[in-house]
Structure 1
Amino acid sequence: MPQVKSNIFTKLLTMLLLLLFPIVVLYGYSTNTSVGVIKSQIQELNVNRLAFFRDQIEEEMNQLVLLSSVISRDYSVQSLQTKSDYSSYAEISSVIAVENKLRLQQIAGKWSNQIIVYYPQAERVVPDSLSSVNPLQLANLDLWNKYPWIYENDPSVRGNYRFAHYVIDPFGADLESAQQVTKIYFSAEILKDLLYNFNVNKEGETFLWSRQFEPITKPVKPLEHKDELQATLRQTLDGPVQNKIVKVGGTEYVMNALQIGGLDWYIVDVVPIKQILKPITTNRNLFYIAIVVLVLIGTLASLWLYRYIQIPMRQLLLGVRKVRHGDYSIRIPERGNNDFDYLLSGFNHMTADIQVLIDQVYKEQIHSREAKLKQLQSQINPHFLYNCLFYIMNMSSLGDEEAVTAMALNLGEYFRYTTRNDKPSATLREETNLITNYLKIQQLRMKRLSYDISIPEEMMFLEIPRLSLQPIVENAAIHGIEPLPEGGTITVTGGSNGQEHWIVIENNGATMAEDKLRDLIAMLGQEHEEERGYGVWNMHQRFLLQFGEGSGLVIDKRSGGGMIFTIRWHTAKRDVLPQQEKEA
C-alpha cells in the first residue's frame, strides 16, 4: 500500500511558515537588540539631562549662599550689631540703608528670595516688618547641620515649606554669643515650578526626594506606582548617584537619582520604559499583525488551492486506483467553473467506455466458460457410465441380482441428477447424497469396503461444481480399497473457517508410488491429453474456473498407508463470473 503523501495545502502552509519563521526570528532579535540599546541610551540621556538640571539648581543655590555671605560681611550691615548712641534719626537712617541694600541684593538673584538679618545682642531684626524669624525659632535651629540648607516650615503661608541658609557672625559662635545671624531663604514652590517645566514634553516624572520629608513635585501627569517607587528608593538608594531599571507593578521604569549638593535631597527622574518604547512596540505589533495577516492570506490561498486543485487531483488519483483494481463504475463529480472539469469529464468518459468494453468481454467469457463447463461435465457422464455398465455386466455374470438391481436403481438416480443441466453447480448436500449413493453401490460390490461421511450441517448450503466429489471417491474405491484383499475405509470430512472451506477424502488403502504421485500433481496444472483420465483433472479445473486461484485439489500420502485428497475453495476470493453467469 503506498504511503500517504502530504497534500498541497500542507506543503504550501509549511513552506509559508518556513519562509516567515526566520524573518520573525531575525526581526525579534533585531527588536530586542534595539530595545537594549535604546534602554542604555535612555539611561545615559536621562542622567545627562538630570545632571544638567541639578547643576542649574546647585548653581543658583550657591549664588544665594554667596550672596548671604557677602551681606553678612558688609560694614553697614555689621554696624547694627550693637546698640549705638546715635540719635534716633541716625539709627533709622542706618536701618533704612541696610534694608535698601538687602532689597537690592534680593532683586539681583534669579530666584525670588528673602534676606533677614537678626542681631541677637541688639535685639533687632532687619527688616523688622518680617516676623518669620524670632528668638524662639532661632534657639531651636540646628545651625551646625552638615548641609548648608535647611528645609523648614514657612510660617507666612500655611502648608508651605522653604529652604533656608544661615550665616553666623562671628563664625563658630552659638546663638547666645552671636552678634549677627544672616538668613536667606526661598520657597519650595520655586523648585516645584522648575520641576513642572522640566516635566513638560517628557515621559515620566522628575521630583525631589528625601528620606525625612514628603517629595517635592509638581507633575504634568501623575506617575503610577509612585509609593512603590519611593519604597524602592528607600531600600536601594546608596550613594550620591543611582542609575538602574526597576520593575514595579508589572511595569519597568528607568530610575535615575542624583544628590543635590548642599542638600539632603535627591533629584529623581522616573520614566516608564513602555512609554519610551511605545513607537518601537507599535512597529513591532504592526509587524506581527502583518505576519499574522500574511499567514491568514497564505492559509486561505492554500485552502483555495487545496479545494480547487488538490481535491480534484486526489479524486482523480482515487479513481485511477479503483480502475486499476477493476472498478470501472467509478465516476468523479464535476465542479462548475473549475479548470479540472475537462480532465475529470475526460476521465469519466474513459471509464464509461472501458466499462462498456469490459462488459462485452465478460459476456463473451461467460458464454465461453459456460460452454467449457458443459463440455467438461459431459465428459464425466460417459466415464462414469462405462464403469457402471461394466459393474452391472460383472454382477450379472456372477448372478448377483441384488447388486444389479441396486446398481440399476442408483444408476437411474444418477442419470436423473446429471441430466438436469439447469445449472452448472450443486449444493454440497446434493453432492453428498450422490457419493453416498455411489458408496452404497460399491459396498454392494465390495463387502470389505466401509465408509464414513461427516460434513458439518452449516456447510451443506454451499455450492460447488456438479459431480466434483464423485470422481475422487471413485478413485479412492477403485484404486485405493479394491486392490487390497483386506479392504479398507473411505472417510469424507468437511470444515470451514469463515471464508475458507475444505473437504478431505482419505482412504487407508493402497498408497500411490512417488513417481506416479508427482506425475499426477503435475498433470493437474496442464492441458488435458486424450490418454489421461478425466476425473481428477476435470474436477480440479472446474474448481479453478469457478473459485479462482488458490482453489482446487491437493493430493498427499496418508501416514500409515493410503491417500488424502483435499478440496479447498475460498468464497471471499470467488470470481464474479459465476454470479454474472447466473444473470446471463
Structure 2
Amino acid sequence: MRLRQSSIYLNLVLTFLLSIIPMYTLSLYINMSGAASVRQEITNSMQSRVHFYLSSYEAELSRVTKSMRDFINDGDLSTLSNLYPNIPTFERFKMLNRLESKLFLLNNSSQYISSSKLYIPSMGITIHGSGYDEAAIPAKEISEIRSVQYKTLSPFTMLDARLFMGSLFPLGLTAAQAPTSIIKVEISLRSLRDVLKQIPNTAEGGAVLFAREQDWYITSTQEAREAALIQTLKKLWENKPNDHKAGSERLKIDNQFYLVTYEPSEMLDATLLVYVPEKQILDPLSHYFVMLLVLSVLSVAVIIFFSYWIYRMIHKPLRSLVSAFRRVESGNMDISIPYKTAFEFGYLYRQFNAMISRLNTLIQEVYEQKIHSQRAELKQLQSQINPHFLYNSFFVLKRMIAADDNKNAISFVEHLGNYFQYITRNADDEVTLEAEWLHARTYADIQMARFRKRLRTDFVDMPCTYASLNVPRLIIQPLLENAYQYGLQNKITNGIIRVSCEVKMELICIAVEDNGEELTDEQLSILEAKLNSHNEHMETTGLINVHRRLQLKFGTDAGVLVKRSFLGGLRTEICIPIREVPNVPIVDY
C-alpha cells in the first residue's frame, strides 16, 4: 500500500488540521473583524469631519451671501444708483466712503474672500475695499453672475480658474433689463484648498468639492499624480444618482482601493468628497495577517511531518491486514495471517483468522441453503397455476365460442398461450423489464375478459430507457393477482386497477393500485410487518416472495412497499435500483 493510496495518512492529517482550523478560523475572523472595525471607525471619523467642515463652510458662505444681499436695502447704494446726477458732490463722496467701508468689512469678514467689488453702472465706477476706480466689471463676468443667479441653485460660478459669487440689483431682473448695481465677491481658492487639505488628515488622502449643475471642481492638491484619480472620481460621480444623501463607499481605482466619504450640500449645490487609500489605513493590520499566514503554513508543515511519523508506526502491520481483506474481497477465503506480536495488531490478526474460518462455515451451511431456498420458491411460483383462474379462463373461452365471438376467442387463446408459456419457462431466472411488463399486460387482458363489466385496468407507458434492465421473473403478476383477488373481489362496478412506472431518486418504481373499499389500517399494518420481517419460517406469499427475490438480487434498496392508494385501496410498489448490476443469475448470488 503506497503512501498516495493511503487513507489513514490523509485521515491523520485531516484530523490534526480539523483540530487547529477552528483556532485559525477564529484568529482570521478576529483579524478581519478588526480590519472591518478600523475601517468603520475611520469611515465614521471621515463622515464627521466631512460634515463638520461642510457645515462650517456653509455657515461661512451663508453669512457672506447674507452680507451681499444686505446691499439691496442699502440706502447709499440705492441713492447713488438712481439719483446720482442730483446728488451734491460732497454727499456723493460721503456715500462712496460709507460703501467702501462696508466692502472693507466684507473683505475681512471671512478667510474665503479674496476680494469684493461693487459696480454702479450709472456712475461708471467700481467700489472695492481700498477705494474705487472707473474700471467696470467685465461683461463676461456679469453674464455669468446673471446666469447663476437665475438658472442654478449654486451661488458660485467658475470663470477662467477663478471662483466668485455675485448678485444683480434689483432682484428679479429679466434678461433684457439692465441692473442698477452689481456686487461680486471672489473666493480665495488657496484658502479653500488649505481647508480641504485638513479634512483627510492623512498624507496620501485628499478632498474635492464637485459642483452638481456646473462643470467645475476644487481639489485639495494640484499635484499631477492626483489628476488622473480626480478625473476618475469625477466620472464616477457624474454617473451617481442625485439622491442628496451622505454616505461612504469602497472604490477600486487603478488597482487600488479607496475609502470615499461624501456629503452633498443643497445650499452650495455641490458635494464634498474625501478619499483615503485603504492600504494606508489598514497597512498595520496587514502585518498581523502576514504573521498569521506564516504561522499557519508552519503549523501545516509540522502536522504533515507528525502525521507521517505516526503513519509509519502503524503502516506495516496495517498493510498486511488490508492486503488480507482485499484477498477476501476478491473471493479468496483460504487465507490466514501469521502473527508474532502480542500488541493490538496481534489481537486483530487472531480475530481475522477466526472470522475467516467462521465465514467459510456460514457460507457452506447457511448462505448456499438460503440461495437454493429462494430459487425453490421461484420455481414453485412459476409452476403454481391457480385452479380457479384456469377454470374461469376456460369458462370465458367457452362463452366466446358459444356466442360465435371468434375474433375475441382467438385473441383470448393467444393470451392464454403466451401466459402459460411464460410462467412454465424455467430456462432463465431473469428477464428484461420489458418482457415482464408485457407478461403483466397479457395477464391483465385475460382477467379483463372476465371482469370487463366490473372493472378496468389502466397501464401507464413504461419508460423505454430502462426496458432492457434485467429483473427476476414474475414480479409484477403477483401484484396484479393480489389486486384482482383481494382488492376488488367484492367490487360490483367501477373498479379500477392502475399500473404505472416512474423514476424516483435512482430507483425505478412500478406501482399497482386499486380503488377497493375493504382495506383497513390494521390489515395494511399487518402486511407491512410481514414484508419487513426476517423470519425465514414465515409462510411465503406472492408479495413476500417478490420482495425477497428483489432484495436478493439488488440489495436492501430494492423490494416491495405497500401503502394506501390515492384511489382509496392498496398501492403496492416495486422498487428496483437503476444502477448497473452484474448480469448474474439469482442462484449465483
TM-score by length of structure 2 reads 0.45
Please say which structure displays the higher CA radius of gyration.
1
TM-score, length of structure 1 as denominator length: 0.46
